Structure 1
Amino acid sequence: MSYQALYRAWRPQKFTDLVGQELVIKTLKNALVTKQTSHAYLFTGPRGTGKTSAAKIFAKALNCHHQKDGEPCNECEICQSITAGRQNDVIEIDAASNNGVEEIRDIRDKVKYAPTECDYKIYIIDEVHMLSTGAFNALLKTLEEPPSNVVFILATTEPHKIPATIISRTQRFDFRRIQPQTILQRMEYIVEQKHLEYEPAALKLIASAAEGGMRDALSILDQVISFGTDKITLDNALMVTGSVQNDELLQYLQQVTAKETAQALETLHQILNDGKDANRLIEDLISFCRDLLLYQQLPEKVEEAELEEVNDDFRSFAQKIQPAEIYQMIDLLNEQQENMRFTSHASIYLEVLTVKLATRSSQPAAQAGAVQQPQAQAGLSPKDTVQVENLSRQVNELKQQVNQLKQALQNGGNSVKAAQTSTNNHRQPAKKSAATKIDLQQIYAVLGEATKKSLLELRDVWGDLMNMLTVSQRAIMHVSSPVAASPDGVIVTFQFDFLCQRAEADSQLKDTLENGLDRLVGHVPRLLFIPQERWPQIRQDYLQGHQTESKGQGEQAEQAPANEQKAADPVVDEALKLFGNELVEVKED
């Protein structure tokens, strides 16, 4: 038999093997024992935390005739066929590659047929958040009322992408990140069962690098075993994970704290020459600074974790460094980590980071009761210094204005006005936000073909259209309303200019509105957004231009109705500007 990866060979086959998810295990086992299982489940959580494994175990336990305390026997034909993946009544679907409406319709058609061997037909849909909107809609009715012998188990790492209508039809179980200590115990059990030699520090490093995922931990362990020819050493683990030893991290931080820039750069180059990953180095430094802060407040917490080597040098450095310095270093590390996301020259950023860390200003603790300190003693950064100078200048200007007002009050009312004028002159004009850009040509094209029927049709479905939006999208559109519509376009006004700009820039919102209109009115009109305050002027300009064109056409002007010729009256124009030209019929109750 060919070699199997550790995470496959040691995949949990019983609930007791599923470590780190005690709450989920207890709830599922109790449901099986008391025969109170649901028709649909939703398993959510980070990758590698046991969602798919729990789904398969639950499928075996639900169909096993020899289960005991909610655990499958793993010996009967049904359990073994589900474990081997050859059971036709347990269907596992990858939604990432089967995310269309046709695949879900196929499930909806086949779900009507009874299971062939098992008591329940179980559908396990992995990465369910990858389904399209149409696929979710096709799944809704079947998920709500499936046949009595059908169970759906949905698994996802991103539950926020699943519609609320789907979540409300399922029982949701949140899988948490597995604690490093739990991962360490599981790996120790596996390597002891395989009779492998290992260094405890290597397993501790792998457990920390896994970031709460058991599958990631076993994959890294598999690499370390292959790299070291069945020997698990700390050096091999460091090489595979790209991590840096704590001694090197401590040496680097001691050098930048002591402002030994040249020595810190040499240490950095040595770490990079050893093949360490630049991004991993940043993460290790942030984690090390976190341990320093934690050790200063709760030293026993770090001692009990036993996942980090806490030696005398670490304790001495933690007692010597100030928390304010650690905060500054963490801020610089986070800033540089963000800058390194889209670069192919990570070493340059690390060198710049080293110089920043070594040349930063240390901020001593302020003395109690001190009212003012010299700027040099405050240890302010250049950016903070500029802000302090600006604030000081503004305070001085305000003092001068107050003195002018006092003097003006003594001299009389005219002086008060003069002082107020002087005060207003000192004030800087407020910056106005950029106005929304409006394409008048497209708006005039819609107005040229606009009909009352199209507008009424759109207003009738506007409320249903808003219900199709997400909460954040409705927050933008709740102050909008259609004011003119043609078969090919619609003009929507917003009460606030900034919301109009947000809607104009949100392509996803436009796509949702167009899809909703396609479903509600059967076609997709072009959406034009304008601020409400600018709509009357735009409409009046269009009407005036239209009247000018009409006057240029002699015959058409003579045939115009009398009520349209009266539209040139200023009073009528003002009324049209305020209330529009639509006729409203008022019916008494």
Structure 2
Amino acid sequence: MAYQALYRVWRPQNFIDVVGQEHVTKTLQNALLQEKISHAYLFSGPRGTGKTSAAKILAKAVNCEHAPVSEPCNECAACQGITNGTISDVLEFDAASNSRVEEMRDVLDKVKFAPTAVKYKVYIIDEVHMLSISAFNALLKTLEEPPKHVIFILATTEPHKIPLTIISRCQRFDFRRITAGAIVNRMKLIVEETGVLCDERALQLIARAADGGMRDALSLLDQAISFSGERVTEEDALTVTGSVSQGFLSKIAIAFQEKDVASGLEALDELLFHGKDPARFIEDLILFYRDMLLHKTAPNLEESLERVMLDDDFRHMAESIATDQIYQLIELLNKTQQEMRWTNNPRIFLEVAIVKLCQIEHQHAEKLPSAQDSQLIARIEQLENELEQLKAHGVTVTQEAASLPQKPAHRPTRKGFQPAVGKINEILKNATKNDLNQIKGKWGDMRARIMKSHAALLNEAEPVAASSTAFILKFKHEIHCQMAMDKNSFLNEVSSVLYELTGKKLIILGVPEDQWLTIRENFLSNQHIDDEENSESIQEEPHISEAKNLFGAEFVEIID
């Protein structure tokens, strides 16, 4: 084919031609001059930012006959051979189509052989993240200890998919998205060299649509040149990129301000009729209001505006809208943009968004009516008058007293669970061993019948004293006691099941273990232990009584 695309014709042949990546090119040029070339490099970044081009320029620079140089001469046999692809020592390997370990081994088997035409063998592996795990493993050892005459340059758009063992063996350079201004300057140079007439506004639209990629920008420029006649105009660029003109965006914005839903929907119909992309439209609208916000808050930063041209219509519109309304508009548009990504019918979301945007100012106006401000001012004046009247009657309020915060009245608070000591003592007075043993005998059956969540509260609880009408339930942990006694459903279920098993309607009183010991000791000291049998029912378990019978009470010590 006689014709070549612009991005192929104008592919950078020197580091100075690599636009927007000065942090990379400067480092590589210094390394070339100081002859501190690494054995492996990793170039990562978005598409069309110059990764593969920089790799080929580096391959020419290290093999240039005039080395060490910061730029390849592009005139010697080595530079021209690498540019034309006729020197086999510089190999471009596409990992996307050769991802298997077999292809990688075929390449690595030739690494050990010395170069035949130039000083260094250079392996440029593009889209290296597409290699399989086995291929990465095959590359790993060679990448770690390659021969002195070999340089690996790995290029990728997705570095997070590359094993860390590979990344750690490379010098990594991150290529950034190219700014719109740098893309415009590069395209100006190209159209001047090719003799194509092109409006600067058209170049700006193309640069913004390229989203930081120089190759995308040159492809769009090539398409716009083919679409246009004698001159590439703004309308040509809008048609090629699918963007929306500023006049159309202003028309939509006026419909929002005037709350004219019909005009807004008609404008949307016109947009879709001309084949505009809904996603591109809502992105343009967000940038339109973004530029309006920047113009209102920082009018001196005109170079930061990405979407609009500062004409009289735009300035008048920016002056007539409040900043907080712009915040609301951008927030709603951004939400709609997120929702449109997951639908097959974005038109519905656009129509709903336009209706909301046409009503958002009216809703905002109702939130802060001017009458409310006047009422607030009148109330303040009334309070000031009342204060003056109090002062006239001899009531004085010092500044110190007025500024002190009012402290709430002190209320004694009780921490932790507080058992009903009086009721517990009444149970202890009437407690018997038979009543306690009857409950203990049915305790396992009762736990099996109640809900699992209620039974869980009884894991570390046991009855320690009982009368014919109530019993005391001791808990090891205070928090479990608090939870059980505060839950009516727990108390009712336990009492109901025990009634079915024992025939007695029993009241349950809970007490934590540490408080139970104190309550029992106080009760015993107050009762003087008049009734030995009653005392045994309180403090003795069946195994304790059995131990006393076997060894004698004087030899048994009870440790609770």
Question: TM-score, with normalisation over the residues of structure 2?
Answer: 0.64
Separation of aligned partners in 2, 1:230 and 1:130: 43
| SS of structure 2 residue aligned to 1:266 | helix
- Asked whether the 8 Å contact 1:46–1:175 carries over to 2, the reply is yes
- Asked whether the 8 Å contact 1:239–1:275 carries over to 2, the reply is no
| SS of structure 2 residue aligned to 1:122 | strand
1:94 aligned partner, one-letter code: D
Separation of aligned partners in 1, 2:86 and 2:330: 52
Separation of aligned partners in 1, 2:269 and 2:236: 20
> Per-residue CA shift, 1:314-357, capped at 9, x if unaligned?
12222222222222222222222222224332222211221121
Separation of aligned partners in 1, 2:255 and 2:307: 25
Separation of aligned partners in 2, 1:323 and 1:190: 41
1:366 is displaced (CA, Å) by: 7.0
- Asked whether the 8 Å contact 1:324–1:363 carries over to 2, the reply is no
2:166 aligned partner, one-letter code: I
Separation of aligned partners in 1, 2:329 and 2:305: 24
- Asked whether the 8 Å contact 2:122–2:152 carries over to 1, the reply is yes
| SS of structure 1 residue aligned to 2:92 | strand
Separation of aligned partners in 1, 2:299 and 2:8: 38
- Asked whether the 8 Å contact 2:57–2:72 carries over to 1, the reply is yes
Separation of aligned partners in 2, 1:23 and 1:256: 44
Residue in 1 that maps onto 2:169: 169
Deviates most, 47-56 or 252-261: 252-261
1:320 aligned partner, one-letter code: S
| SS of structure 1 residue aligned to 2:301 | helix
Separation of aligned partners in 1, 2:351 and 2:306: 32
1:259 is displaced (CA, Å) by: 1.3
Separation of aligned partners in 2, 1:341 and 1:212: 21
Residue in 2 that maps onto 1:179: 179
Residue in 1 that maps onto 2:129: 129
Q: Is the alpha carbon distance of 1:277 and 1:119 closer, same or farther for their aligned partners in structure 2, counting shifts above 3 Å?
A: same
Residue in 1 that maps onto 2:557: none
* Structure-to-structure mapping, 1:67-466, within 5 angstroms: 67=67, 69-229=69-229, 231-303=231-303, 308-360=308-360, 362-363=363-364
1:68 is displaced (CA, Å) by: 6.9
Separation of aligned partners in 1, 2:96 and 2:134: 15
1:165 is displaced (CA, Å) by: 1.0
Separation of aligned partners in 2, 1:154 and 1:18: 18
Residue in 2 that maps onto 1:39: 39
Residue in 2 that maps onto 1:383: none
Aligned-residue identity in percent = 57
2:292 aligned partner, one-letter code: L
1:256 aligned partner, one-letter code: F
1:304 is displaced (CA, Å) by: 6.4
1:363 aligned partner, one-letter code: H
| SS of structure 2 residue aligned to 1:299 | coil
1:303 is displaced (CA, Å) by: 4.8
Separation of aligned partners in 2, 1:190 and 1:238: 20
Separation of aligned partners in 1, 2:305 and 2:354: 30
1:66 is displaced (CA, Å) by: 2.3
1:414 is displaced (CA, Å) by: 9.7
Separation of aligned partners in 2, 1:320 and 1:161: 49
Separation of aligned partners in 2, 1:362 and 1:241: 36
* Greater gyration radius: 2
Q: Does 1:21 align with 2:13?
A: no
Question: TM-score, with normalisation over the residues of structure 1?
Answer: 0.61
Separation of aligned partners in 2, 1:178 and 1:48: 9
**How many residues get paired?**
382
1:67 is displaced (CA, Å) by: 4.6
- Asked whether the 8 Å contact 1:99–1:132 carries over to 2, the reply is yes
| SS of structure 2 residue aligned to 1:110 | coil
| SS of structure 2 residue aligned to 1:152 | strand
Separation of aligned partners in 1, 2:187 and 2:123: 31
- Asked whether the 8 Å contact 2:91–2:124 carries over to 1, the reply is yes
Q: What RMSD in Å do the two structures reach over aligned CA positions? A: 2.9
1:26 aligned partner, one-letter code: K
> Per-residue CA shift, 1:451-500, capped at 9, x if unaligned?
xxxxxxxxxxxxxxxxxxxxxxxxxxxxxxxxxxxxxxxxxxxxxxxxxx
Q: Is the alpha carbon distance of 1:42 and 1:131 closer, same or farther for their aligned partners in structure 2, counting shifts above 3 Å?
A: same
1:306 is displaced (CA, Å) by: 7.8
* Structure-to-structure mapping, 1:555-570, within 5 angstroms: none
- Asked whether the 8 Å contact 1:181–1:305 carries over to 2, the reply is no
1:126 is displaced (CA, Å) by: 0.7
> Per-residue CA shift, 1:223-277, capped at 9, x if unaligned?
0000014521111110010100112112202211321111111111112222211
2:364 aligned partner, one-letter code: Q
Separation of aligned partners in 2, 1:68 and 1:35: 7
Separation of aligned partners in 2, 1:282 and 1:340: 10
- Asked whether the 8 Å contact 1:303–1:310 carries over to 2, the reply is no
> Per-residue CA shift, 1:152-175, capped at 9, x if unaligned?
000111111111111110001111
> Per-residue CA shift, 1:402-449, capped at 9, x if unaligned?
xxxx9x99xxx899xxxxxxxxxxxxxxxx9xxxxxxxxxxxxxxxxx
2:198 aligned partner, one-letter code: Y
- Asked whether the 8 Å contact 1:89–1:117 carries over to 2, the reply is yes
> Per-residue CA shift, 1:386-416, capped at 9, x if unaligned?
xxxxxxxxxxxxxxxxxxxx9x99xxx899x
Separation of aligned partners in 2, 1:189 and 1:52: 22
- Asked whether the 8 Å contact 1:94–1:127 carries over to 2, the reply is yes
Separation of aligned partners in 2, 1:366 and 1:126: 59
Q: Is the alpha carbon distance of 1:340 and 1:306 closer, same or farther for their aligned partners in structure 2, counting shifts above 3 Å?
A: closer
1:35 aligned partner, one-letter code: E
Separation of aligned partners in 1, 2:215 and 2:94: 18
Deviates most, 306-315 or 43-52: 306-315
